[in-house]
Amino acid sequence: MNEVRSFLRAAAATVLGACLAGGALAQAYPNKPITLIVPFAAGGPTDVVARLLSVNMSKTLGQTVVIENKLGAGGTIASAFTAKAAPDGYTFLIHHNGMATAPALYRKLPFNPLTDFEYVSQVIDVPMTLVGRKDFPPRDFKELVAHLKANGEKINVAHAGLGAVSHLCSVLFRQAIGVDLTTIPFSGTGPAMNALLGGQVDLMCDQTTGTTPHIKAGSVKLYGVTTPNRLRTMPEVPTLAEQGLTGFQMVVWHGVYAPKGTPRNILDTFGRALNLALKDPAVIARLTELGAVIVPDDKLTTAGLQTWLQQETQRYGPVIKAAGQFAD
Ligand code: MLT
């Protein structure tokens, strides 16, 4: 009888142990879908990159990384939302230079990019392209500048709102050529591109991750690239600097953020999955095809993003003040 009791006790202990272990595993991160917030509309360059990464990261993490497009105010609504989200590892944000420009652009910003987030990693750098609707009369950059000077505010330039890189690019471009054009805000350059393809707007500055398929299809006119050097993907296309537009260069960088207080081990797990996605040959091939450049390993880190954000915030402040673009 004693033997039976001992056996039952041992069996019960084994079952309890297994349950506890199972419980511990069930608690392990991640144990439910993770939201990756995109601050602009679906179909735009940030969304395209986020979706590409999320598919790969979901496999590594064993949980779906769900993309949520939270639109408005040039990305600041999404950033404010992320800053206030629970720091439990289930909300992340992918954002670009807009994180560094927002403090100078918005007088009443409801979050502080330098203190309200945890920093996962930088991701990619992306060149911008200046594109026009297919039937826009100027055939090249020289003709474009002459056309803009002759028509001024009759020309519509699409962008994704104050804080968007498409907006900043259009402001710097207008400043560089000394012409006032009419700007039309959209919730992202995805819908802005639809308007350009439909001929409702004339011009747009957007990332190659958004414009490349349309340039290759010949459905938009390309006037130049905003990088210091020509692109590997379109070596025949001159930079804007080569075409005489000096002092005007733009490269878009992206970073991944979490709410302040998200535990270190969770940031590391998510960061590792991101890092692995960026080492995957299929992801590399697609990003390269779209003109993006994966940042070097030292930037694929918390410090890599945090230090860069600090530098960029300082760099953009005076540039934006000089351009005189603000919102309350
Ligand atoms: C987008 O994803 O729609 C763009 O990155 C917005 C922008 O121009 O900043």
Among 23-32, 130-139, 276-285, the minimum mean pLDDT is found in 23-32
- 145 and 213 assigned to the same domain: yes
- The reply to whether 176 falls in a domain is yes
CATH no. for residue 262? 3.40.190.150
- Residue 318 is predicted with a pLDDT of 84
C-beta of 189 in contact with ligand 1 (< 6 A)? yes
CATH no. for residue 156? 3.40.190.10
- 297 and 263 assigned to the same domain: yes
Of 317, 250, 254, 243, nearest to 287 (Cα)? 254
- 182 and 192 assigned to the same domain: yes
- 121 and 134 assigned to the same domain: no
Share of the chain above pLDDT 70, in %: 90
- 168 near 253, Cβ under 8 Å? no
H or E, element range at 184: strand 182-185
- The reply to whether 82 falls in a domain is yes
- The reply to whether 17 falls in a domain is no
- 131 and 221 assigned to the same domain: yes
- 139 and 113 assigned to the same domain: no
- Given a cut of 80, is residue 325 above it in pLDDT? no
225, β-bridge pairs = 129, 239
- The reply to whether 10 falls in a domain is no
C-beta of 89 in contact with ligand 1 (< 6 A)? no
Q: What is the pLDDT of residues 114-146, one digit of tens each?
A: 999 999 999 999 999 999 999 999 999 999 999
Q: Could you identify the residue written with the tokens 């130049």?
A: 224
- 177 near 149, Cβ under 8 Å? yes
- Structure token pair of residue 305: 């993003």
- 208 and 258 assigned to the same domain: no
Separation between Cα atoms, residue 170 and residue 191, nearest integer Å: 17
Q: What is the pLDDT of residues 250-260, one digit of tens each?
A: 899 999 999 99
Q: Indicate the burial class of 317 (C-beta count within 10 angstroms; 0-12, 13-18, 19 or more).
A: middle
Average pLDDT over residues 36-52: 98
- Structure token pair of residue 127: 């060149």
- The reply to whether 16 falls in a domain is no
Question: Phi/psi of residue 297, each to 5°?
Answer: -55, -35
- The reply to whether 235 falls in a domain is no
- 171 and 316 assigned to the same domain: no
Separation between Cα atoms, residue 93 and residue 71, nearest integer Å: 12
C-beta of 191 in contact with ligand 1 (< 6 A)? no
Domain range for residue 45?
31-126+252-323
- 221 and 138 assigned to the same domain: yes
- Given a cut of 70, is residue 43 above it in pLDDT? yes
Average pLDDT over residues 175-199: 95
- 169 near 160, Cβ under 8 Å? no
Among 53-57, 120-124, 229-233, 301-305, the minimum mean pLDDT is found in 229-233
- 97 and 164 assigned to the same domain: no
C-beta of 304 in contact with ligand 1 (< 6 A)? no
- Residue 327 is predicted with a pLDDT of 58
For a ligand 1 pocket test, name from 96, 97, 105 the mutation site with the most ligand atoms within 8 angstroms of its C-beta.
96
- 170 and 184 assigned to the same domain: yes
- Residue 319 is predicted with a pLDDT of 79
Q: Indicate the burial class of 146 (C-beta count within 10 angstroms; 0-12, 13-18, 19 or more).
A: exposed
CA of 188 relative to ligand 1 center, distance in Å? 5
C-beta of 165 in contact with ligand 1 (< 6 A)? yes
CA of 40 relative to ligand 1 center, distance in Å? 6
Residues whose CB is less than 8 angstroms from the CB of residue 155 and which lie 6 or more positions away in sequence, other chains included: 147, 148, 181, 182, 202, 203
**Around Cβ 42, how many Cβ atoms within 10 Å?**
17
Share of the chain above pLDDT 90, in %: 81
- 132 and 80 assigned to the same domain: no
Q: What is the pLDDT of residues 216-226, one digit of tens each?
A: 999 999 999 99
- The reply to whether 13 falls in a domain is no
H or E, element range at 302: helix 302-323
Give the model's confidence band at 163: pLDDT under 50 very low, under 70 low, under 90 confident, else very high. Answer: confident
Domain count, the chain: 2
- The reply to whether 285 falls in a domain is yes
